[in-house]
Structure 1
């Protein structure tokens, strides 16, 4: 028997298919091998790039010249220490969301009353950002890290400037950079903001929550953003005025929902509560004795209080009047005392001694309808020794401009304000006693269970009934702050027109 020929029994097409399958398999194996080699190479290159960037980051953070270029070098250093010396903005183009959002925020700083020149505009451009992400541009590690550090410093600067203000007279940039106890920790906040998914919105939350700031910021965003883009004419003066007053409000630390806000240029006190807003007219210090701006807490109300006459008033005003009329102190329910609190009768001889040694004497006015403090005083601690109080001279509240005091603030309808404070402090049962004390000028203290924040501001533009209202710069403070915020820009503008 002939041996069976298997080749003859298998169709030719089978061999063709087998060859194709084997060939295709070989190709796939080759591609898989090449892909694996390429992937490993790419991974090694990425690891090398990451290591080189980290090395460069550490190098530039320690470079004294780079530190001089940064607004907040210590905060930037702490930011990267907190992040284990990893880059924050040099991600792939597909994961560049936070970087893009940071650049967009830089584009919008004018809408928040900030100046673009403060945020490294010569480095932080979209062209530079594209170069950082582009493989074709082949920027060095040094160039990439320069962009990285400048963008971090710009974000740190925006956060600090929005929260603390850029020209805070009570808080220097150095103090902020050193870190403030029980305050915003900028480096940690920036890490959280970057990871939040909406960097811009997160950063904007550090702004003041004060009603006037929120309204002014809304107007600034409108006129510096929408109106300008729509080619509306917006006076530069208005933009600057809003910006400098927003800056002033950033110097405050208030976060409460209920507070008293006294604005000096508008001669107005506004009492904010979560349920109601009330307004009162005030008399403030004259330009020669200006009312200071401050923050404090009203701890108690005092009825029938004696007025301890300030020494400058005693020396410059009361003694000259008493020399012309020996009965002046008595007619105004005042008495003079020496340093041992001994009563000093008013005679020509005693007045002569007072004129020669005025610091050895002081005057006090007893409570009553003629008392300069009126029926009630709202006490709050401050280094200026000023207070908020009633006044027997109610005629001044009828005037439009009310800068007449020696620095203290006189408030209209003081009785109603006192009642409102006690009622909102959950002490409604004490209101009958308060009213009795007010009407009889009897000495009583009404301590607040929850001290009430009070802020005294100098805002020359405010939002009232959704409209911008300008107020007279009675203490001539606008130009000083405007020169700080725009002085360099003014010089550049003048130079370019000459």
Structure 2
């Protein structure tokens, strides 16, 4: 082959290679680059799918008492806006909103903020149902949907639905706190229940909460310790408003109530040596404490709660109130419990107090603090609509006129 022929063949090969590269490249880019109209069509389809998913989730949210008007979309909403609403709604379905009446929040919230996006990307109705494992919640949802069909029948039904929605949100809110069991005090019901995570009632009992003018505040907190044979450190308001006038009239009141007068150094002062005539609500340099024992207003067991409001659970020296009257709202704000021994043993995780502890009532006992294995969450709530142990819907008296 001469030099000229060789050059010709080389030229042909180069041209063929360039043509091959051109056609292969055109085919590749044709697959990767869609016409603008096609891209727009795919984007619109993605937005429609997101709207459809949000619509499905809204239907479920409506069925569990969530106001979905806040998650409504408009035609100009982008897919990103719709996705954000969907994610926020899913998080509310699982974790609820903070109840407006909580006066103190002492529990650390644990919210998986990414869960909403993950659930949205792989949405299924079953997934939502799996977030609701708490028995009383599901029972209440059943009553809510039963009554929804009658909402227009009377204002009373509509009002009942509103009360149920508040309680449903409260139960969702408890999902923010991780614990294998928790204590729930429901003020309008005059009840305390210890629930496990499935909603089983481990220890139901009656309680006595604050009277209407001495309301027990709603809070999230935890039991941090148990005190056997506690002192009652009388709140200053009670000492000045209720006790001081009686002590000034008759010193025997101090002895009959087993009260101790302490100075600013917490040293006990002999009542006979105090100049009571010159004392008043604005001039009282002492604090009042009730000695431990059977006559102590806190009874023999006190459950210390973490909070700055001086609220705690405790036994009482008037246990007959649980049987002689149905008035469950007569304290100064703290919560008297019907079964202090059983509650203490459950919190301690062992049989620390025997059945006869409440009857022996030893004298001259000093307070003894018992450490608990781990803090037990406590919710003090105001739920006027709830279910009882049999699953029956109950509407309780609005004792504080809050609803």
Which residue does the alignment assign to 1:116?
A: 68
**Aligned residue for 1:30?**
none
Shift of 1:411: 0.9
Residue 243 of structure 1 corresponds to 165
| Contact in 2 for aligned 1:159/1:206 (Cα 8 Å) | no
Mark the CA change 1:416 to 1:109 in structure 2 (over 3 Å): closer, same or farther. closer
1:369 and 2:359 aligned: no
Contact 1:303 1:437 in 2 (8 A): no
Query: Residues 393-428 of structure 1, C-alpha deviation per residue, up to 9 Å, x if partnerless?
Result: 123213223111111000113223323433xx1x34
- Counterpart of 2:239? 314
In the aligned structure 1, how far is the partner of 2:37 from the partner of 2:286? 80
Question: Which string of whole-angstrom CA distances, capped at 9 and with x for unpartnered residues, describes residues 230-289 of structure 1?
Answer: x99892122111012223444443332322211111001112347762211110001111
Alignment CA distance shift 1:217-1:255 (3 Å): farther
State the 1:367 CA deviation: 0.8
How far apart are residue 341 of structure 1 and its match?
2.1
- Does the 8 Å contact 1:319/1:351 carry over to 2? no
Assess if the C-alpha contact under 8 Å between 2:300 and 2:316 holds in 1: yes
Match 1:49 to one of 16, 39, 43: 39
Q: Which of residues 87, 106, 110 is equivalent to 2:58?
A: 106
For the pair 1:460 / 2:384, whether they are aligned, the reply is yes
The unaligned stretches of length 5 or more in structure 1 are 1-32, 54-86, 129-142, 172-180, 479-498
Work out the CA distance in 1 between the residues paired with 2:344 and 2:116: 43
Which structure has more relative contact order (CA 8 Å, sep 6+)? It is 2
Superposed CA deviations along residues 129-151 of structure 1, whole A, max 9, x for unmatched, are xxxxxxxxxxxxxx4xx242442
Match of 1:192 in 2: 118
- The structure in which a higher percent of residues are helix is 1
SS of the counterpart of 2:304? strand
Cα gap change, 1:105/1:221 in structure 2, threshold over 3 Å: closer, same or farther? farther
What TM-score comes out, normalization by structure 1 length?
0.64
Closer, same or farther in 2 for the Cα pair 1:116/1:418, shift >3 Å?
closer
Residue 99 of structure 1 deviates from its aligned partner by 4.3
Q: Is the CA contact (8 Å cut-off) linking 2:300 and 2:358 kept in structure 1?
A: no
Task: State the TM-score, normalizing by the size of structure 2.
Answer: 0.78
Number of residues of Structure 1 aligned to a counterpart in Structure 2? 365
The residue number in structure 2 matching 1:263 is 186
Match of 1:416 in 2: 342
> Cα RMSD (Å) of the superposition?
3.6
1:7-18 superposed matches below 5 A: none
Contact 1:216 1:462 in 2 (8 A): yes
CA distance, structure 1, for counterparts of residue 97 and residue 228 of structure 2:
41
Three-state SS of the structure 1 residue aligned to 2:293 is coil
Alignment partners' CA distance in 2, 1:350 and 1:212: 58
C-alpha distance in 2, partners of 1:437/1:303? 14
Question: 2 CA distance for matches of 1:185 and 1:220?
Answer: 27
Question: Does structure 1 residue 344 correspond to structure 2 residue 277?
Answer: no
Secondary structure of the 1:462 match is: strand
Counterparts of 1:351 and 1:99, CA distance in 2: 75
